[in-house]
């Protein structure tokens, strides 16, 4: 199979003999579990047809076999793909968050963060940044000192962080005195019935001879943790996340010599389980290959190395699983060590509607490495557990980055300046703002596929203060339903991430609940980001909230506009 063939302005995709069998299996009609969105999984799950030798983009079978009728009961409906769209002449645009001008918001400042080797580090490196409604605080789990200690910090606003004294003997905020960390992931579990397991942690120590496994722990407060349970074999930078749609814990396992190396370099294997601790005891011979970088991930032109998938973290956001693929662009560790400069990894956005197959429609860096001396995030850009917080009409993406130190050169990998100055910053995006469907001065249309819903009030996330948005509702014969036509629709000329659509005669869609209908959006001079049908005039979506935010009391949006009001004091970016 030909590994890569790049053509200026596009990429030539060649179906090789290795890729063909698993692509054919991916396109088969599925007969397994029926999901909330009408997608039916394969009978064998997780699927085993992914090929670790292929550079083909991951197949997304639900985009080939779209349900005839799509339930939209859960969450805001995002428009990053054509899953919900039957016809449109609007133009899709992908967006990237803006980095906060006062980054980094958290950096090495304490003796603990100097580290045993003198490589200053104070950043999640996955870890976790969560809003905890119980204490009304942002909470963070991070690495203090390169490949050293796990520590805890908290914040009232997500920008200014405090390090509470936890280890009174040492006078610092270290939380685990018996485990050295290469990386951790912490999830706040809003859905557990056991308050003593409210927090889940996966920790992977640094590579040591004969020990290439991780540990799983649970906690009531995120500070005092249960005795660790050793996992199956896994590579460093393995992580975990929760799929709330299927109530499964997902173990995102990096390829490793103990599991089996891949021709595409760093990549991921997949394991899932209902129970977090029981699932930790996986058999490395039974986990399935998942995904890696592919031929659409172009090499850095100044480095030239083949891209690899360094990490894959995800979280439930509204009606989808939101992922960040951390793409490794090089150079090799020994080259970075020789100049005291971090390797280049960047975060690229990804989406999944079934929790396994990833759609990656935009290959631009979502959060990029700056690549220049003097920048705190010159390289080694990494996501956090929970991915993002919701602050009113914005999404905050906390992320780690490394400055490097060309003056600290050492043959010992653990003492080298290539990892020096690991800190945390924030990048900010409009809520639901990953992609928009755009119209210019000429009026455009978007017609949905047939959908069903249980709510009664239509809401949109739209930016059209100098334009208009109107909506009508059609039956299965494409006839406009009485009362819900364009003439009766009150035109919107707003920039709002939570705006109700109203019709003059009847703004409630209650009489259409459970029926198969289509929505037609007519837009001029604007951008449409999402729509949803709420069961309340407060606009709640009942979708999932990633790492949460001020005003929310749990893992799903039941507060609607009230959460926006509660978040106003926190909106400082």
Task: Indicate the residue among 409, 430, 451 that finishes a domain.
Answer: 430
Measured between alpha carbons, how far is 50 from 255 in angstroms, rounded to an integer? 14
d(CA 123, CA 145): 9
pLDDT at 277: 98
Beta-bridge partners for 298:
none
Whether 37 maps to a domain, the answer reads: no
CA 104 to chain centre: 21
Does residue 345 lie within any of the structural domains?
Answer: yes
Peptide bond into 395 cis (omega under 30): no
3-state DSSP assignment of residue 509: coil
Lowest mean pLDDT among 64-68, 144-148, 262-266: 262-266
Same domain (yes/no): 250, 156: yes
Count of Cβ atoms closer than 10 Å to residue 167 Cβ: 15
What was the pLDDT predicted at 25?
A: 61
203 has pLDDT over 70? yes
For the segment 377-396, the average pLDDT, to the nearest whole number, is 98
Q: Is residue 328 part of a domain?
A: yes
Look at residue 21 in the predicted model and tell me its pLDDT: 55
Same domain, 448 and 397: no
Q: Looking at residue 397, what is its pLDDT? A: 98
Residues 347 and 443 in one domain: no
Give the pLDDT confidence of 446-469 residue by residue, as tens digits. 999 999 999 999 999 999 999 999
pLDDT range class, residue 279, cuts 50, 70, 90: very high
- Residue 10: band (very low, low, confident or very high) from pLDDT cuts 50, 70, 90: very low
Same domain, 255 and 375: yes
Q: How far is residue 358 CA from its own chain's centroid?
A: 11
Check if the beta carbon of residue 399 is closer than 8 Å to that of residue 425.
Answer: yes
CA distance 85 to 82: 5
- DSSP string of 120-161, one letter each residue: -BEEEEEEEEEEETTTTEEEEEEEETTTTEEEEEEESSSSSE
349 and 461 belong to one structural domain: no
Residue 340 counted as domain residue: yes
Contacts of 114 (CB under 8 A, 6+ apart): 108, 120, 145
pLDDT at 413: 83
**SS3 state at 465:** coil
> At CA 486, angle to CA 480 and CA 488, rounded to 5?
100
Grade residue 177 by pLDDT with cuts at 50, 70 and 90: confident
- Are 348 and 216 members of one domain? yes
Q: Which two tokens stand for residue 278?
A: 């029981």
Residue 11 has pLDDT above 60, yes or no: no
Beta strands 457-463; 495-500: pairing state = antiparallel
Q: Which two tokens stand for residue 25?
A: 């299996």
CATH at residue 536: 2.60.120
Q: Are residues 405 and 447 in the same domain?
A: no
- Tell me, yes or no, whether 362 lies in a domain: yes
Q: Which residues 6+ apart lie within 8 Å of 545 measured at CB? A: 316, 317, 390, 552, 554, 555, 556, 557
Domain that includes residue 375, residue range? 123-430
Instruction: State the burial class of residue 155 (Cβ atoms within 10 Å of its Cβ: 0-12, 13-18, 19+).
Output: middle
The CB-side HSE value for 240 (13 A sphere, CA atoms) comes to 32
Whether residue 250 is found in the same domain as residue 263: yes
Question: Strand 85-88 relative to strand 444-448: parallel, antiparallel, unpaired?
Answer: antiparallel
Average pLDDT, the chain: 93
pLDDT of residue 327: 98
On whether residue 2 sits in a domain, the answer given is: no
Considering the domain boundaries, does residue 115 fall inside one? no
State the average pLDDT over residues 368-389: 98
Q: What is the DSSP string of 377-393?
A: TSEEEE-BTT--EEETT
Residues 459 and 376 occupy one common structural domain: no
Determine the pLDDT at residue 30: 65
Confidence of residue 207 (pLDDT cuts 50, 70, 90): confident
Domain count, the chain: 2
The CA distance from 460 to 529, in Å, is 8
Number of other CB atoms surrounding residue 52 within 10 Å: 19
Q: Which two tokens stand for residue 3?
A: 């590994």
Q: Report, as an integer, the average pLDDT of 238-267.
A: 90
Which of the four pLDDT bands, split at 50, 70 and 90, describes residue 253? very high
More confident residue, 309 or 22: 309
Residue 9 has pLDDT above 60, yes or no: no
Give the model's confidence band at 194: pLDDT under 50 very low, under 70 low, under 90 confident, else very high.
very high
- Residue 422 and residue 464 in one domain: no
Q: What is the mean pLDDT of residues 494-508?
A: 95
Q: Is residue 565 part of a domain?
A: yes
For the chain, the residue count is 573
Looking at residue 227, which CATH number applies to its domain? 2.115.10.20
Query: What is the CB neighbour count within 10 angstroms for residue 73?
Result: 18
- DSSP characters for 317-362? EETEEEEEEEEEEE--HHHHHHHT---EEEEEEEEESSSSS-B---
Span 415-428, mean pLDDT?
Answer: 96
CB within 8 A of 98, min separation 6: which ones?
Answer: 427, 428, 429
Of 430, 463, 481, the residue that ends a domain is 430
Decide: helix, strand or coil at residue 192.
coil
Residue 191, Cβ neighbours under 10 Å: how many?
11
Q: Round to whole Å and give the CA distance between 143 and 36.
A: 37
| Domain final residue, candidates 389, 405, 430 | 430
Q: What is the predicted pLDDT for the residue at 17?
A: 39
Whole-prediction pTM: 0.95
pLDDT tens digits, residue range 73-95?
999 999 999 999 999 999 999 99
Q: What is the pLDDT of residues 17-37, one digit of tens each?
A: 344 555 556 555 568 999 999
Q: Are residues 188 and 158 in the same domain?
A: yes
Q: 389 and 451: one domain?
A: no
């Amino acid at each position: 199979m030909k590994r890569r063939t790049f053509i200026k302005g596009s990429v030539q995709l060649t179906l090789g003999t290795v890729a063909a069998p698993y692509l054919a299996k991916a396109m088969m009609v599925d007969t397994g579990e029926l999901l909330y969105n009408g997608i039916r999984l394969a009978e064998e799950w997780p699927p085993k047809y992914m090929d670790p030798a292929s550079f083909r983009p991951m197949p997304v079978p639900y985009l080939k076999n779209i349900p005839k009728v799509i339930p939209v009961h859960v969450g805001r409906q995002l428009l990053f793909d054509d899953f919900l769209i039957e016809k449109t002449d609007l133009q899709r645009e992908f967006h990237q968050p803006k980095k906060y001008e006062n980054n980094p918001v958290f950096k090495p400042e304490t003796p603990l963060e100097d580290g045993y080797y003198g490589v200053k580090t104070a950043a999640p490196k996955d870890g976790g940044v969560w809003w905890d409604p119980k204490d009304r605080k942002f909470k963070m789990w991070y690495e203090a000192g390169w490949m050293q200690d796990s520590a805890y910090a908290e914040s009232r606003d997500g920008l200014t962080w405090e390090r509470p004294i936890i280890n009174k003997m040492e006078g610092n905020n270290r939380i685990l005195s018996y485990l050295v960390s290469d990386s951790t992931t912490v999830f706040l579990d809003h859905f557990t019935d056991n308050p003593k397991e409210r927090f889940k942690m996966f920790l992977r120590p640094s590579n040591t001879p004969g020990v290439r496994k991780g540990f799983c722990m649970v906690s009531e407060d995120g500070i005092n943790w249960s005795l660790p349970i050793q996992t199956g074999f896994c590579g460093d930078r393995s992580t975990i996340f929760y799929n709330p749609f299927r109530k499964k814990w997902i173990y995102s396992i990096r390829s490793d010599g103990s599991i089996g190396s891949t021709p595409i370099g760093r990549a991921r294997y997949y394991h899932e389980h209902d129970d977090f601790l029981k699932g930790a005891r996986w058999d490395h011979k039974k986990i399935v290959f998942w995904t890696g970088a592919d031929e659409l991930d172009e090499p850095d032109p100044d480095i030239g190395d083949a891209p690899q998938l360094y990490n894959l973290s995800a979280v439930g956001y509204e009606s989808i699983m939101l992922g960040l693929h951390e793409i490794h662009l090089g150079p090799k560790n020994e080259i970075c060590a020789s100049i005291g400069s971090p390797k280049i990894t960047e975060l690229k956005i990804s989406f999944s509607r079934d929790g396994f197959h990833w759609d990656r429609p935009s290959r631009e860096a979502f959060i990029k490495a700056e690549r220049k001396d003097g920048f705190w995030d010159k390289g080694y850009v990494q996501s956090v557990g929970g991915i993002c917080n919701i602050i009113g009409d914005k999404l905050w993406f906390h992320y780690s980055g490394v400055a490097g130190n060309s003056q600290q050169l050492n043959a010992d990998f653990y003492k080298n300046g290539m990892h020096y100055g690991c800190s945390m910053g924030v990048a900010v995006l409009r809520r639901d703002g990953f992609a928009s469907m755009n119209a210019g001065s000429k009026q455009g249309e978007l017609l949905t596929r047939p959908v069903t819903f249980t709510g009664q009030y239509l809401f949109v996330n739209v930016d059209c203060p100098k334009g208009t948005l109107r909506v009508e509702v059609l039956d299965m014969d494409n006839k406009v339903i009485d009362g819900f036509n364009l003439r009766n629709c009150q035109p919107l000329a707003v920039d709002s991430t939570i705006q109700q659509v109203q019709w003059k005669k009847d703004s409630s869609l209650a009489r259409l609940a459970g029926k198969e209908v289509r929505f037609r959006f007519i837009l001029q001079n604007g951008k449409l980001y999402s729509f949803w049908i709420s069961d309340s005039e407060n606009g709640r979506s009942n979708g999932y909230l990633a790492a949460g935010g001020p005003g929310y009391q749990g893992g799903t949006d039941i507060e609607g506009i009230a959460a926006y009001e509660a978040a106003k004091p926190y909106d400082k970016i």
